[in-house]
Structure formats: structure tokens, C-alpha cells
Amino acid sequence: MIAFSSPLWLAGLGLLPVLWWLHRRASRGRTLVVPSVLLFRQAQAAAGDAHGVRRLDASFWRRAALIACFSVALAGPGIQGRGSKVAVWIDDSLSMRSQEPGGSRMELGCRILAQSLTARGAVTATIESLSEPGAARRVTPPFSRESVCGDRPIGAPQLPLVRLMGRGVEHWLLTDGANPVVNAWATQAPLSRIVQIGKATENAALTRLAARASLADSTRLDLDVEAANLGTRVARRTLTVTRGTTQVSSAPLSLNPGAQVALRLTLPVDGPGALTARLDPGDALADDDLLTLDLSQAAALAVRIDPACAAPVRAALLANPGIAAAKAGGTSDITVTCSADLAPADPGFALRRGGQSRALDSRPRWLDLDLIDQMRVQIPLDRLHLRVWDHPLAAHPRDEVVLAAGDTPLAIRRAGFTHTLETNLDLEDRELAADPSYPLLISALLERATGRELAGGRVDARRLAASRIAPVTTLAAHAGAITAPARLDLTPYLLAVALLLLALELIFAALTLTRDWRFYRQPS
Amino acid sequence: MARRTLTAAAPVSEPELKAFARVAGRLLLAQAPRGAGTQALRRRRGAGLTPVDHRDYLPGDDLRWVDWRQSARLGRPIVRRFQVETSADWLLCVDASASMLAGHLWHRAREISTALAFALLDGGNRVALRLYAERVTGLCPFGRGPAHFARVARLLATHEPPQHGADSVLGACVAGISGRPSLFVISDFLMAEDPTGDLGRLAEVCGQAYALQLRSSRQHRLAERGPLSLVDVESGRRIAVQSGLTVERSAVAAAEALTARLRQFCAARKIAFGTADAAVAWQHILLNHLRQKVA
């Protein structure tokens, strides 16, 4: 593919129509008075269509080729060689959405990338995302901002291993240098070019908005709102919290550089709409000036408890702050049944019992958690005195076994039903009920039945360091040297052709002058 | 001939005319029409028959011309031969059409005509001048002497060809010619019609004819390049050509062809034909032409 280093010189091709016009104008016959046209009658036949179809003479094509060659040669044409493949790593962090003069950092950077890829003469470019390393996308020329970047999601960087980055391609990085983790990775990665975009430094952000049911009053919610100034100057903002269309709070904030403030509010559980916190006025990064929280998950879970359930089960359920007993005649989120016969269509948490209770003969474990999470869970299954009813649980192929002892399922989430969990653990065992971890076990099973965290009882939305937009360092120095472009420069050849044409033109002119001189010099 | 009568209007200075007349006198007289057995000499006023040489008597010779003294001395009849005083009428036909304005043709034709008239008048001949275009536009009847030269010179000095139009018709000079005068035609012969026809008719009514074709590079040189619409200065005809060296060479070839055709025609009609470039001085043109004829 032919690329031009100074394409503005191609404007010289605009002289071609002018040249055509000049030749066309010159070819129009002018009137000349001669002593006698008899001498030119023979030439008249040779002129033929002098006033008919105007054909452009060879001099036009010679001069047109001369102009074209000069214009194209000065534009610096070159043929891109094969093998110039580029892998572009794009920093998708939130700070890349910061607004700079001319657009967002992502837009500006992608525009520079497109131009750089075109100038580099890349035959293909693989667009890699730091937030989604596996979602590579291959683009080919012509490169544009849209083709290079498109609509990119925002995500925290998941940096690829440096040693796994291919050596056969050039690696480029587009970042704003605001994330120290990315910066550290960039210093180690074999990057040929680093496009660092962005100069804005001032940004105040909402870093957290959390709500949980009040422990003191189940009819209210406790709110935590945190804001931080990640810029270099004092930031003065107004923090406004609204629920739906109702303003809950509005407070002025004055944040020193690096400072973080937290506000605690309380509001009733019942209420329409989502909770929104907003900082005004906006700054370079508008995305972190707003946080929205769905409060539907913050209210306590209404549970209807089967009267057949044993007292320890009821007590453990009601002790959970995220659970509230459903009112008589009111609606409930889930039903806890304790029965030997449970209709499969009934949603809820089913404690099956029947037959004799016996101790487990193997260690139980959560199958929906990996090993590390097993260790994090504060329920010592090994130490608990767990027993199981003889009534076996039959797991269908699409059912999910969440708790098992060896090959024996102990808790199954039924496929095709919501909020349905069956267990044949003997949760009414007195020895088990006396264990401090008993309520946690009940809560863990219920969480798996509802798919909702009950123990914490909190919903929150938070941001971490992604709201830092000030470039931490200049990364250009860490870019490796770009190898000489595999590019065949056509300029010397075109210049040679142009000079040849010029010489030809001069020779023609000299020959014409010489012929004319000899002709006119001799007497008639 | 009284030189004081020469007019200052003549396009050629008096010393030049005198110098030319001395040289051209003999050439003109050598070509003057004369009878058999005569020698062309300058005519002298009041001069009679003058013996020149002798030859053997031939049957039919007038016995009055027998030189008895020589016959007795040589022992056979000898007759005398005499110089004959000759004079002629010369008709100068000069092309005064618009085409003569190109390349100083008219200027050169005027100089040549003036000098020729002076030389002829100086030799005692009668000279008439006719300037023609599509008709006779200037006329000076036969006459002799300095006063007549003054009229001829004044006519030549004051006459100017038209800037355009006025085709040249040599045949216009035919009317009114009597006595078979000698003819001298000066023209570029660039005529819409074939000039040989008019030249032939003119030569028929004249005794001896001379034709001088004046040419100039301006006749075939085009001042501009590219396609041109050429307009004939006389007829106004237009033709389209693609100007260039090839065209001009073609025009030169056409001019050469015209000259060759004229030369061939004049040779057949015993018309003394010559051609000259108007850029050459008039003395050279006339002397070369007359010398060529003598040779």
C-alpha cells in the first residue's frame, strides 16, 4: 500500500486542471492576417480538425506528467513493506474518559493511534484491551478512530504477563499514565511506542455509596457516602443525594488534595426509585461524579417460616439482621419449609427430614466455592457436628449441588425454580444448634437459596483508584526504539522521472528554438 | 539629362541612382530590342548611322553599304555594318496590392521601380508606370526626360497600397497598351487567380517582358504557434492551420512551387524571370537580375 509522508504536496495535482485549461485555451485558434492564404492551403489539410475536436498535444501530457511526478514525489510516497504488524494495548480504565480539549482521552488517543498506524504503514493491527486481555480485535487499513477503538467498555486493567507478549509484533500502548499499576507494567513490557494522552489533573470523585438496613431500626437504612479529591488543588463541590426524584441531602464539600470525606445518612426503607449521589459542578471526569445504588436489595428479606420448623431453625433465621419474619397476610420473599414431603414447585428453602438422623461419614464441602473461598468462609464445616437424614436427595442432571459430603449431596439448588434449595441436613439437631456457627450455616444455606448476601445486609457501589486522572509519570522514555520502517521510499524514483521529464521538456524547447532559429535565419 | 530635375520625393537618393544608372545602362542597353545586324548602343541626340565593322557581301545586301575601298583592298566585296541608334518604350507594372505591405515588399518594389525608371530614362527610353491592385490604382503615361522621372518618382513616393482588401489582378494592366513596349513586372505574384494567365496576356501585347518576383520570409512566417485562423489580407478568405515549423515549411514549399511554376512559364514564353528576397538591397536585386539575363 502506498502511503505519503507529506500528503499536502499532493495539492500540486490541482495544477493539472489549470494546465489543461491553459493548453485548451492556447489551442483555440487565433486570427492572424497573412499576405496570402494560398501558401498555407496544404497546411490547412494537415491541420484537419484544428477547429473541430480539440485534441491535447503531446506537450500537455509531457507537462502533466512532469507536474504529477513532482507533486507526488514531494509528497513522499512509499510502499509499506510486509510484516509491520502492531499490537495495540489500550488502557480501558475510567480515567481514559476524562475530557481534554478536543474530546475524551480515549477519542484523542485513538485518533493519534489511527494516524500513527497509518504513518507506520501497519498492515494489520491487533487491538488488545487491558481490561479484557482475551478480547483482541484485528483491524486492517484504512485506520480510523472508530475502527481502532470503537465503543470500548470501562474496566480495571488486567495486565498481561510480559514474557507472554509476542516478540514478532510491535507492541504499542495507549494510556494516560494515571494508573501506577499500568505505568509499572509499561516500564517492563516490550513496548515500541507509548501513546500517552491527557494533561488534566483535577478530579473529585464519589468513591463509595453504600446502604444497609439499620440494626437499630429495621424500617430505616443507613447510608455511607464517600467522596475524594484526587486532584492537586482544593476542590469545592456540592454533594447531592436523591432517591428517585426526592432530594435526600445536599451538602457543600471542600476537599483538599488527596482528602477523602465520608457522610452518613439515614432514610426510610420504603421509597421509590434508586439512590443517587452526585457531585456538582462537574470536572474533567464526569463519570465518577455520579453513583447510583439500587436499594431494593438493601431491605431485609421477608421470610415466611413453616410452623413445623424446629425452634432452633426459627431462632437462627430471625437472628439474621438481613431477615425479617413476614407479616401475617403480607407478602414474603421466601418460604422456609420443614417437611418430609415437599412439592417440587414450591419455591423456598426446604429442610427435608425423614427416617433416622445419622452422622456424616465424610467431610462436607461447598461445591460452589473454590478452595480459597472455602477457607475464607467462616463456617468450620469440619468442626460442626453435622448429621443427615436417611431420606436421600436425588440430584437431577441440571440441578446444582452446592454442599456435598463425598458423593452424597447435602444441599441442592433445583434447576428451573427460583429461590429453591433442598437440604437433608438435620438442622434440628440440638448439638448442632448449640454451636455458635449454627446461625451462619443457616444464613449460608439461605443465601444460596436466594442468591443474595444476607449476613452483611449491605449494598454498595464503590470506586477505587480508577478516579485518579492526573498522569503519574511520563512513559515515553520507556518505549523501545522503533525499528526502521520496512518501507520502500518512492521519492527518489519519482524525482528522477520528474527530472528526466524536465530535461526532456528542456531538450524539446531547445530543439524547437534551434529549428526555428535555423529556419528563420536562412533567407527565403 | 538634366539631373537638377530629380525630385526629392524619390525613395532612392540621387547619388545612388546615378551610380546605378552608370552600371545598369549597359546591361539594359545590351538587352534592348534591336534589329538584325545592329548593336545596342546608347542613343545620342542627333547622331546618324555609324559604321561599326565589315563583313563579306551576301546576295541581297544593299549596294549602298558596299565599302569599295575595303573591297578593292581585299579583292572581294565587303559591306559595312552600322551602329543603329535604338530607343524603346518601357512599361513598368508594379504590384500595389495589400500583400505587398508584408516584409517591406512595397518599399523594395518602390526602390527598384524608381531606380529602373531612372536608368531607363537616363538611357533615353520612354517609361510608363502602372501601379495595380484589383485595378490600376496609379498611372503615369509614357514619357521621357527628367521631368517625367520626377512624375514617376512622385507617384511611387506618394502611393501606398491599401491595408487590406484589393486583390492583385495583373491583367488590369493589359488595357491601353499599344506599340509593344518592353515590360517590367514587379510583384509578389500572390494572387487568387493563377498569375501566369495575366502575365501571359500582358507579354503578348509587349515586345519583351521581364518579371521580378519579390519574396519575403514574412509571407510564410506565422507570428504565433498553435491553431490559427489565417485571414488573407487581400481576399479575406480564412483557413485554419496548426501553426508550427511544419506549416511554415509547407508554406515555403508552396512559395517555391509558385516560383518554379512562374519560372517554367516565363521560360516557355521567353519572359526574363527573376526572384529576389526583399531583404536584399535593391541594387543587388536589379543588377543580379539584369546580369543574369545578360548571361
Interface probe for A, chosen from B99, B217, B235, B239 (most Cβ of A below 10 Å), is B239
| CA dihedral (A205, A208, A211, A217) positive or negative | negative
Predicted confidence at residue A240, as pLDDT, reads 92
- How many Cβ atoms from other residues are within 10 Å of residue A521's Cβ? 8
User: Is residue B262 included in any domain, yes or no?
Assistant: no
B56 and B139, same domain (yes or no): no
**Same domain, residue pair B161 and B288:** yes
Chain B from 162 to 181: CB within 8 A of any A CB: 164
Determine whether the interchain pair B232/A32 forms a contact, defined as Cβ–Cβ distance below 8 Å.
no
Q: Give me the number of domains chain B comprises.
A: 2
> Residue B177 falls within a domain, yes or no?
yes
Q: Give CA–CA dist B276/B289, Å, rounded.
A: 9
pLDDT along chain A (524 residues), means of 10: 82 90 72 82 59 60 90 83 75 86 88 86 84 81 83 79 77 86 85 85 86 76 86 89 87 88 84 85 85 77 85 86 78 81 64 81 80 65 84 81 87 77 86 87 84 67 65 65 58 89 90 75 53
For chain B positions 122-161, those within 8 Å of chain A (CB to CB) are: none
Neighbours of A140 (CB within 10 A): 11
- Helix-then-strand count for chain A, H and E: 11, 29
Tell me the pairing of strands A301-305 and A334-339: parallel
**Sequence spans of domains, chain A:** 2-80+489-521, 85-200+469-485, 204-298+460-467, 301-455
pLDDT in tens, chain B (295 residues): 434 445 455 677 788 888 888 777 767 655 554 433 444 444 333 233 556 678 899 888 778 888 899 999 999 999 887 654 456 788 999 999 988 888 788 999 999 999 989 888 887 788 999 999 988 999 999 988 888 999 999 999 899 888 888 788 888 888 888 878 888 999 999 887 888 888 998 888 887 888 999 988 888 878 777 677 788 888 888 887 777 778 888 888 888 999 999 999 998 888 888 898 888 888 888 888 877 654 4
Compare CB distances from A33 to B233, B252, B279 and report the shortest one's residue: B233
Contacts 24+ apart (CB under 8 A), A132-137: A132/A92, A132/A158, A133/A158, A133/A160
The answer to whether the bond into A439 is cis (omega within 30° of 0) is no
B71 and B131 housed in the same domain: no
B161 and B94 in a common domain? yes
pTM for the whole structure:
0.41
Q: Which residue has the cell 420504603?
A: A270
For residue A99, give the nearest of A372, A469, A463 by alpha carbon: A469
Rounded to a whole number of angstroms, the distance from the CA of A11 to the nearest CA of chain B is 29
Are B19 and B137 found together in one domain?
yes
Within-domain flag for B266: no
Packed helices B105-122 and B282-294: angle between N→C axes, nearest 10 degrees: 60
Return the DSSP state at A285: -
CB distance B285 to B184 below 8 Å? no
Q: Which three cell numbers stand for residue B111?
A: 526602390
Q: What are phi and psi of B232, to 5 degrees?
A: -70, 125
Q: The domain that contains B202 carries what CATH number?
A: 3.40.50.410
- Search chain A and give the residue with CA nearest B103: A35
The answer to whether the CB of A390 falls within 8 A of the CB of A376 is no
What cell does B229 get?
A: 485562423
DSSP letter for each residue of A339-384: ES---TT--EEEEE--S-EEE-SS-EEETTS-HHHHHHSS--TTTS
Taking the C-alpha atoms of residue A332 and residue A323, their distance in angstroms, rounded to an integer, is: 11
In this structure, are B76 and B109 located in the same domain?
no
Which are the contacts of A347, defined by CB distance < 8 A and separation ≥ 6? A334, A335, A417, A418, A419, A420
Contact yes or no for A158/A91 (Cβ under 8 A): no
Beta carbons of A44 and B239 less than 8 Å apart: yes
Domain residue limits at B56: 50-83
Domain contains B131? yes
B214/chain A closest Cα distance in angstroms: 10
Residue A108 to chain B, least CA–CA distance (Å): 56
DSSP label of A396: P
Same domain, B71 and B128: no
On whether residue B39 sits in a domain, the answer given is no
Asked if A284 and A199 count as a contact pair (C-beta separation under 8 A), the reply is no
Residues B211 and B175 in one domain: yes
Angle at A287 between CA A285 and CA A289, to 5 degrees: 85
Residues of B in contact with A44 (CB under 8 A): 239-241
B59 assigned to some structural domain: yes
For B215-249, write each residue's pLDDT tens digit: 888 888 787 776 777 888 888 888 877 777 788 88
Who's near A500: CB < 8 A, 6+ residues apart?
Answer: none
Can you name the CATH fold of A301-455?
A: Rossmann fold (3.40.50)
Would B239 be classed as within a structural domain? no
Q: Which of A23, A24, A39 is nearest to B247 (CA)?
A: A39
Q: Which of B188, B245, B277 sits opposite A516 (nearest CB)?
A: B245
> Does domain A204-298+460-467 correspond to CATH entry 2.60.40.10?
yes
Indicate the SS3 state at residue A186: helix
Same domain, B78 and B124: no
